[in-house]
Structure 1
Amino acid sequence: MANFEGVHVALVTPFTTNYEVDYERMTELCNWLIDKGVDGLIPVGSLGEYTTLEDEERAQVVETVIEAANGRVPVVVGTGAPSTSKVIKWAEHAKASGAAGLMALPPINYNPLEEEVIQHFKELSNVGLPVIAYNNPRDYPTDLTPDLLRKISAFENIVSVKEFSGDIRRVHDILDQTNLEVMIGVDDLAFEGAIAGASGWISGVPNILPQEGKKLFEMGQNGAIEDGLRLYRELLPLFHYDAEPQLVQSIKHMMELGDMDCGPTRPPRLPLSKKHYEKIERDFQRAKNYSILQ
């Protein structure tokens, strides 16, 4: 069995209208998602606006999610930070708080040497929790290629990769060339990823459509191609927003439409245009209408 199988939601961080972290809403969101059947929760990732959180807020978000999950599903904690020492600090905090695993980017501030990437993940492995390496060459300078992943997977606790390159061929190459599990990281490859052998999906839009997301991924894993494609094509317009730089604003607007409002995004992320939101509303209604009919 995979370390982190199924649909793991990359959580948004709820804010009040005054941009304060809404920990009560965070607890409500976690309970709702678990009740809807998601397989895991991932706080303080990119979708969770971790870069806007003060250290005290970030620590409390992690602790709030782990307390809300209460062992019902695993909590994998994002460790993104400017230096390896800060990444390790957040990894150790996650471990002490009861996390089941870590999600870890390579060094993020500059284009590192291969040996620096390898040393970075070696230190993460030494923390003693299973690590999902996060490959996102769209937004960060390092591409964790299959060859590089093979090298860092030599460390005991590097067990999986969140694959966000947007190239479905990577799933096949990683499974062929490494011993890592693959978790799809971009929503609009979720169905193809499951078919290709990904064991999990670190998902964005399932913050508000968790049952649809879980059903879709299971269809892909089980080879239910015809039924899966019908559902996938209704969800796909929404999934495309997850692959855009404005994914946080878009998904938070979906949550507002779905009666799970988690407040605004913190600057520098500002509200998007009325035209953008109107398109989300049309796409969301399409997905909900299809879902209601099933």
Structure 2
Amino acid sequence: MTRFAGVYVAVVTPFTNDFAVDYKRLHELCDWLVSQGVHGLVPSGSLGEYATLTNEERAKVIDTVIQAAAGRVPVVVGSAAPSTQQATAWVRYAKEAGAAGVMALPPINYKPLEHEVIAHYEALNSVGLPIIAYNNPHDYKTDLTPDFLAKLSRLEHVVAVKEFSGDVRRMHEILEKTDLEVMVGVDNLAMEGPLIGATGWIAGVPNALPKQGVELFELARAGKLEEALPLYRRLLPLFHYDASPQLVQSIKYMMELTGFPVGPTRAPRLPLPEAEYAAIREAYQYAVGGK
């Protein structure tokens, strides 16, 4: 049985104009995403600006998302933190709050040795909550290669991987060498991934366009390439922003264009140059209008 099938939106954290967490808006966002057909929610990830939140804010964000989901869809909590002890505490918190699993990066502060990465995941595994290992070698020092994932998959609760390397060939190799579920980790592989066996997608741009994201993924999973390809090509210019370091500002602006504003980003993320917003507007208009 696939535990984390379908489109799981990595939920942004709404802020008020004075940069306070807007929990009411977060609840509304989650309710809207579920109503639009997404299959799961992922709070307190990098797109959710977890690193800018206090512990109290982060805990309340997690609680708010779980309460808003109300059992209708699973919630997978981002557990990244500077130390293994802190990350394990967030896994424990997620379990007690009722989460279905966690999305877990390897150690993030420096380039760890292999046995340190394994020990990190062993500590998370000890909590007893299903783990989606998060491979993001672009932003962090560790590359969870297919061979490395084969070792991690021996841990009882490591059941899936969010694959963010950007190389679709990795997905083939992971599926061949492990029994892990593969979740697409970057939006601009949202068609290729499910076509070759990925069963889930932890998505960014579907914060703004959830229906389109779900439709695309389901078409690709069904192998309906002729129907999926035109939709994918319309969405692809927007999807590329999910692979950019400025993904949070970009996706929050897309949500403003959708008519679901969620406020600013917290520093060090600042507003983008106007030329960037103009390019996002153009890509958004193409995505929704097909012209």
- Where on the TM-score scale, by shorter chain, does this alignment land: which range? over 0.9
Deviation of 1:26 after TM superposition, in Å, equals 0.2
Amino acid paired to 1:259: G
Amino acid paired to 1:127: V
Aligned to 1:72: 72
Deviation of 1:125 after TM superposition, in Å, equals 1.1
Look up the SS of the partner of 2:190 in the other structure: helix
Correspondence 1:100-249 to 2 at 5 A: 100-249=100-249
Report % sequence identity: 62
- The reply on whether 1:36 has 2:36 as its aligned counterpart is yes
Deviation of 1:289 after TM superposition, in Å, equals 1.1
Aligned to 1:18: 18
Amino acid paired to 2:99: A
Q: Deviations over 1:130-156 (max 9, x none)?
A: 000000001000000011100011010
Aligned to 2:54: 54
Q: Distance in 2 between matches of 1:60 and 1:67?
A: 10
Q: Distance in 2 between matches of 1:268 and 1:149?
A: 33
CA RMSD of aligned residues (A): 0.8
Amino acid paired to 2:3: N
Aligned to 2:260: 260
Structure 2: tracts of 5 or more residues without a match: none
Q: Deviations over 1:81-133 (max 9, x none)?
A: 00000001111111111101000000000000000111111111111110000
Q: Deviations over 1:250-274 (max 9, x none)?
A: 0000000101100000000000010
Q: Distance in 2 between matches of 1:70 and 1:156?
A: 27
Q: Deviations over 1:192-214 (max 9, x none)?
A: 00101000000000001001000
TM-score (norm 1): 0.98
Amino acid paired to 1:84: T
Deviation of 1:226 after TM superposition, in Å, equals 1.1
Look up the SS of the partner of 1:25 in the other structure: helix
Deviation of 1:33 after TM superposition, in Å, equals 0.3
Aligned length: 291
Aligned to 1:282: 282
Q: Deviations over 1:207-246 (max 9, x none)?
A: 0100100010111111111111100000000000000000
Q: Distance in 2 between matches of 1:258 and 1:37?
A: 16
Q: Deviations over 1:143-180 (max 9, x none)?
A: 00011100011010000000000000000000000110
Q: Distance in 2 between matches of 1:113 and 1:147?
A: 15
Aligned to 1:98: 98
